[in-house]
């Protein structure tokens, strides 16, 4: 009988190095950066969520604030350090929050469900909060795995959090730029970001550092990573 614990079994299914964890964390940050692209669909959502409201623009700004507030509330850190928490648990929670928030907004906007403002505010808060969970899992895990290079690894990881806005904007312009496509874009964000996060979750894990610490050529690999960021930014 196989008496290995769940962590050992997971390691055999998903063999990883700290560099594969870094790549997974960088991709996970793409899921969290959707907080930067709300302006893409605000104007199209306003008549759907607040038809005929004279203060619709102000109400939309309150919803944007709700997503930002959700991103700032630091509950993910408590779950990360909890006895039954950890990186994967945080990613799973972020995926659930993201799907629930964006999925609820899709229902309200696509089917003319006239939800009250409190419900809408909560939905925006939920997906914003989910973004914070993705960011927490990526940053905390990479910090633990690269203790001797925290500055370099955090700069590289956070750059993808910023680049995610540009990449998601390209997706929006390519497939969802039509005036009536805003609900479909919300559905895409909920489903696609959730599935990507779930696919990456087994790879986001804390590992023992190599011995010696420079055994895996970190300088050369970091240089390649920053070159990739520069190419994507251009």
Residue 5 has pLDDT above 60, yes or no: no
Question: Which residue in the block uniquely carries the two structure tokens 């039509």?
Answer: 178
Residue 213's pLDDT is 55
Whether the CB-CB separation of 139 and 87 falls below 8 Å is answered with: no
* 121-137 per-position pLDDT tens digit: 999 999 999 999 999 99
Residue 79 and residue 25: Cα distance in Å, rounded? 17
Is residue 4 classed exposed, middle or buried when 0-12, 13-18 and 19+ CB atoms within 10 A define those classes?
Answer: exposed
Identify the helix (H) or strand (E) that includes residue 58.
helix 56-72
pLDDT at 102: 97
Average pLDDT, integer, range 22-50:
92
pLDDT value of residue 210: 65
Say how far apart CA 18 and CA 207 lie, in whole Å: 7
Q: Which residues are CB-neighbours of 196 under 8 A, at least 6 positions away?
A: 27, 28, 30, 31
Q: pLDDT tens digit string along 207-227?
A: 877 665 555 566 667 777 777
Environment class of residue 101 by beta-carbon count within 10 Å: exposed (0-12), middle (13-18) or buried (19+)?
Answer: buried
Q: Which two tokens stand for residue 140?
A: 């905390």
Contact 193, 34 (CB under 8 A): yes
Rg (CA), the chain: 19
CA–CA dist 66, 60 (Å, integer): 10
């Amino acid at each position: 009988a196989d008496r290995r614990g769940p962590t050992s079994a997971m390691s055999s299914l998903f063999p990883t190095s700290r560099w594969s964890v870094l790549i997974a964390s960088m991709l996970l940050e793409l899921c969290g950066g959707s907080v930067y692209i709300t302006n893409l669909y605000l104007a199209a959502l306003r008549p759907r969520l607040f038809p005929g409201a004279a203060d619709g623009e102000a109400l939309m700004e309150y919803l944007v604030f709700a997503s930002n507030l959700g991103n700032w509330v630091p509950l993910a850190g408590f779950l990360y350090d909890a006895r039954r928490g950890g990186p994967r648990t945080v990613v799973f929670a972020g995926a659930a929050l993201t799907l629930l928030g964006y999925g609820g907004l899709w229902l309200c906007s696509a089917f003319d469900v006239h939800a009250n403002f409190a419900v809408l505010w909560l939905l925006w808060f939920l997906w914003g909060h989910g973004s914070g969970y993705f960011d927490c899992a990526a940053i905390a895990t990479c910090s633990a795995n690269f203790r001797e290079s925290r500055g370099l690894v955090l700069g590289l990881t956070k750059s993808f959090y910023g680049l995610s806005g540009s990449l998601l904007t390209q997706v929006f312009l390519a497939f969802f730029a039509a005036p009536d496509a805003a609900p479909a874009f919300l559905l895409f964000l909920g489903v696609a970001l959730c599935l990507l996060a779930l696919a990456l979750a087994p790879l986001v894990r804390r590992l023992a550092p190599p011995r010696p610490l420079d055994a895996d050529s970190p300088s050369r690999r970091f240089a390649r990573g920053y070159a990739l960021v520069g190419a994507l930014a251009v």
